[in-house]
Chain A
Amino acid sequence: MKYIRWLSFVMVFVLLSGCAGKAAPSALTPINLPMGYVANVQFSPFYVGKERGYFEKAGFDVTFDYRWETDGIQLVAAGEIPFAIASGDQVIQARSRGLPVVAVAAWYQKFPVAIIALGNTPLRSPADLRGLRIGIPETFGASYIGLRALLKAGGLSEADIKLQTIGYTQLAALTAGTVDAAVVYANNEPVVLAREGTPFNALYVSDYADLVSAVIVSNDTMVREHPKEVQAFVTAFLTGLQDVLDDPDAAFAVCAKYVEGLEENAAAQRGVLDTSIEFWRAAHLGRFEAAAWEEAQKVMAESGLLEQTVPIETLFTNKFVK
């Protein structure tokens, strides 16, 4: 009897241990989310979404992956990962090459590229760019498309300026005087200059052209066969975005966990966040306007970046946005 009692005890213990071991299977789908840039306060909607459990509630265990946006697009096209963050022009570029990617939610509502010049170089209108030595990080991507849009708005062509590819050294190049003006991200370098008290002039692309900007990217298979997952992810992102718009102070505090050295550069980074927020505001968060895609594709085609244009309706969908 004593043995039977002991045996029962051991069996119950073993069963309970087994249950405890199996109790952990997570229903969450782990995903790496390519961000396209280094950890930055600009990603606060995603940080807030993760920190407040919106992605978890949507069924995703999100890990932020700060790889290049082109890599992210390729992995999404290949079905290796379901989502990525990228600029709309990359979706157009990829789609024109046959990659089955599609934008499922808008993030930036205004194109965040500008051209800045220091001191006395006047930049009152795009026509003032004529004859200037303009530095640009690359001759593709959002910076280049923004430049081409501004040139078009000023009735200019690339032959009217002296374009120099300078990598991401815009402020150094401007300070050293190797260029007269530089193409920058409107929510970054101008904020730094303003904070330093350095006088500058700026032309913002969004004042002259309505181009599609940063978006959430997925692929045709996800949209067609797993719409619930896409809907859940988009909803989680938009909830995080709305939270940031409603309470930037709290969002900034959340960023400290994800952005190394944020506290040491708090004032400047807060400026970046506040400026970024102005590019995110919209009457309908996440919603695309077809005209912005059309304009972006037109600028890209005129710039020689596309071998072929694609039907606008294949580039994006508003079905996951209320």
Chain B
Amino acid sequence: MTSSGMRTSNGTYRQTPFRNLPFYLLSVGLVFLAWQTAVLWMADTPRRFLLPTPQEVLARFWKLIGNGVLLHNAGVTLLEMGLGLLAGTTLAIVLGYGVVHSRMIAYVLEPVIVTSQAVPIVALAPLLTVWFGSGLASKVVVCALVVFFPILVNVVTGLKSIDPRLRDLFRMLEAPRHKVILKLEVPATLPAFLAGLKVGGTLAGMGAVVGEFVASTQGLGYLVKQGQNLYDLPMMFVAIFTLMGIALTVYGLLSFIERRALRWSVQDTTATYSEEEQP
């Protein structure tokens, strides 16, 4: 840990960006090595039809980039993810706030919310396509449903973890509701909320693909399905890798936002290590 962190003037260690880059590159390299080995192993057998070579996938990638197909379909999926994340997050915040502050809302909603999570989204997706049409709306709803629960749970956890003495303090000072929200609840809930948002943001891609698998004419899920049905395995791989890239980017972006938004707490908690804590 000491070798990968940056030592600050007060003797603490702060995480530096890209400190794990060599390890990431190593893991990606190992995957490609295993892939190429598998390809070579299957080269002279009929099994070669089950796995495209990295070169084939790369060639397909450039072709799909060149004709604009990949960017267009990635854009569609990103739009679905973005709108779904926005809708799911908004709903989670509103309902989470209601669940924490109203016993009646909690009693009424909690069983519904919890049991709704027991229904696999792939089973619901065809119905959503009927109810909301086969266009953008049904994919956004699927995304919103997927991201909703982890964010809701974290919002509720964050709100419930506020020190009651702080609430008493705000009450004693007769702070108005909006001051309580802005000065107490938002800052106190932010770490948990952002942690939930990171999970939700990553899951949004899965939601979009589930929606696209049911009925679609565009999007990365559509490309995967089209590749499967046209026996175009390289195209499937390109779409899957692009989805992985989007998920990693979204996660990285939300982690960056989290670090920026929680700078005030980072100095005292997880990402800072005191001299005594060093191994």
Interface of B is mostly: helix
Specify which of A138, A141, A167, A219 is in contact with B46 (CB 8 Å cutoff). Answer: A219
- Does B258 lie at the interface of the complex (its beta carbon under 8 Å from any beta carbon of A)? no
Does B108 interact with chain A (Cβ within 8 Å)? no
Q: Convert B216-230 into 0s and 1s, putting 1 for each residue whose CB lies closer than 8 angstroms to a CB of A.
A: 110000000110111
Whether A169 contacts B49 by the Cβ 8 Å rule is no
Contacts known (A78-B50, A79-B47); A167 close to B229, Cβ less than 8 A: no
CB <8 Å contact, B130 and A176: yes
The residue in chain B whose Cβ has the minimal distance to the Cβ of A98 is B49
Q: How far is the CB of A248 from chain B (nearest CB, A)?
A: 31
Across the interface, which residues of A come within 8 angstroms of B226, CB to CB?
139-140
Is A74 engaged at the interface, CB distance under 8 Å to the other chain? yes
In order of increasing CB-CB distance, the 3 nearest A-B pairs are A167-B215, A79-B46, A97-B231
CB contact between B215 and one of A93, A98, A166 (< 8 Å): that residue: A166
Within 8 A of A (CB), among B186-220: 214-217
Which one of B47, B49, B215 has the highest number of Cβ atoms from chain A below 10 Å of its Cβ?
B49
Instruction: Tell whether, in the assembled complex, residue A141 and residue B229 are in contact, meaning their CB atoms are under 8 Å apart.
Output: yes
State whether B215 touches A178 (Cβ < 8 A): no
Measured CA separation A135–B130 after assembly (Å): 12
Assess whether A77 is interfacial by the CB under 8 Å rule. Answer: yes
State which residues 158-175 of A face B: CB under 8 Å.
Answer: 164-169, 172-173
The residue that A78 contacts in the complex, of B47, B229, B232, with Cβ under 8 A, is: B47
In the assembled complex, B133 has its CB within 8 A of some CB on chain A:
yes
Residues on B with C-beta less than 8 A from A77 are 46, 49
| Chain B CB within 8 A of A263 CB | no
**Is B45 engaged at the interface, CB distance under 8 Å to the other chain?**
yes
Q: Which residue of chain A lies nearest to B232 when distances are taken between CB atoms in the complex?
A: A97
Jot down 16 A-B pairs with beta carbons below 8 A, ordered by A. A70-B228, A73-B231, A78-B50, A80-B47, A94-B231, A97-B230, A97-B232, A140-B226, A164-B134, A166-B134, A167-B134, A167-B215, A169-B126, A169-B130, A169-B215, A178-B134
The answer to whether B231 and A221 touch across the interface, beta carbons within 8 angstroms, is no
Q: By the criterion CB–CB under 8 Å, are A169 and B129 in contact? A: yes
CB neighbours (8 Å) of A135 from chain B are 134
- Please, how many residues of chain B have a CB less than 8 angstroms from a CB on the other chain? 22
Assuming the contacts A74-B49, A77-B49, asked whether A168 and B231 have C-beta atoms less than 8 A apart, the reply is no
**A232 near B: Cβ within 8 Å?**
no
A127: interface (CB < 8 Å): no
Bitwise interface map of A from 55 to 99 toward B, beta carbon under 8 Å scored 1, else 0: 000000000000010100110011110000000000001100111
Q: Is the CB of B215 within 8 A of A100?
A: no
Report A-chain residues with C-beta under 8 Å of the C-beta of B48. 78
The number of chain A residues touching the other chain, given as a range, is: 20 to 34
B231 contacts A166, C-beta separation under 8 Å: no
Hey, which chain A residues are within 8 Å of B47, CB to CB?
A: 78-80
Query: Chain B interface (Cβ within 8 Å of chain A)?
Result: 45-50, 126, 129-130, 133-134, 214-217, 225-226, 228-232
The docked-state distance in angstroms from the alpha carbon of A168 to that of B213 is 11
A93 touches B230 (CB 8 A): yes
Q: Which residues of B contact A221 (CB under 8 A)?
A: 46
A167 and B214 in contact, given A74-B49, A79-B46 (Cβ under 8 angstroms) = yes
Cβ–Cβ < 8 Å partners of A68 in chain B: 228
Q: Which residues of B contact A166 (CB under 8 A)?
A: 129, 134, 215
A305 at the interface (CB under 8 A from B): yes
Q: Assess A138 versus B134: contact at CB under 8 Å? Given A100-B46, A166-B129, A169-B129.
A: no
* A78 in contact with B130 (CB, 8 Å): no
Q: Are B46 and A74 in contact (CB under 8 A)?
A: no
Tell me the complex Cα distance, A267–B225, Å.
35
Instruction: State which residues 216-231 of A face B: CB under 8 Å.
Output: 219, 221
Tell me the complex Cα distance, A228–B243, Å: 46
How far does the Cβ of A314 sit from chain B's closest Cβ, in whole Å?
A: 15
- Which listed residue (A78, A79, A140, A164) contacts B230, Cβ 8 A? A140
Chain A residues in 8 Å Cβ range of B46: 77-79, 100, 219, 221
Contacts of A78 in B (CB 8 A): 45-50
**Inside 8 A of A79's CB, which chain B residues have their CB?**
45-47
Which residue of chain A has its CB nearest to the CB of B211?
A: A167
